[in-house]
Amino acid sequence: MGVEDLIVIATPDAVLVASRHADQDVKKVVERLKASNHDTAVQTRRVYRPWGWYEGLHAGDRFQVKRLTVNPGGKLSLQKHFHRAEHWVVVNGTAEVHVDGVHKLIGENESVYIPLGAQHRLANPGKVPLNLIEVQSGAYLGEDDIVRFEDVYARA
């Protein structure tokens, strides 16, 4: 209350409050965040992919939780991970799941376990967005722990 000439920018993972007269200093803040290896300087919480998007919800020692939304007709690559297992819980929609050659449909309030090293794929065969919660657990949870075998978006 009682303040004037402010710039206020709020995103799900950061808030910036600055004097309107110091707007040119935003670049310095970003450089400082980058220098301290802060995630918000290089990546937003919501990451868009050709099949939809995912958002990091929580992370701890040897686990992380994400929300995934797969667009109708969207399909993740056939892939595997060397360092993590995954649990997928369908919130709404229908998931077409492939795990080591076994194919099945998973509906709302159902889940599937993806063991470490298993070849797997997730697809949305429906006409509405598929929303699920993914729990990853393992020694390393980086996005570079993906070996792609097939990808309809030519990322393999």
79 and 34 in a single domain? The answer is no
64 and 24 in a single domain? The answer is no
Any bridge partners for residue 18, and if so which? 7
Q: 155 in a domain, yes or no?
A: no
31 and 107 in a single domain? The answer is no
Residue 22 structural domain: 6-41
Q: State how far the Cα of 52 lies from the Cα of 69, in Å rounded to an integer.
A: 6
32 and 58 in a single domain? The answer is no
Tokens of 31: 């450089």
31 and 77 in a single domain? The answer is no
pTM for the structure as a whole: 0.79
Q: 34 in a domain, yes or no?
A: yes
91 and 58 in a single domain? The answer is yes
- Would you call 64 exposed, middle or buried from its count of C-beta atoms within 10 A (0-12, 13-18, 19+)? middle
pLDDT in tens, 71-118: 999 999 999 999 999 999 999 999 999 999 999 999 999 999 999 999
Q: State how far the Cα of 54 lies from the Cα of 147, in Å rounded to an integer.
A: 18
pLDDT in tens, 10-28: 876 778 888 888 878 878 8
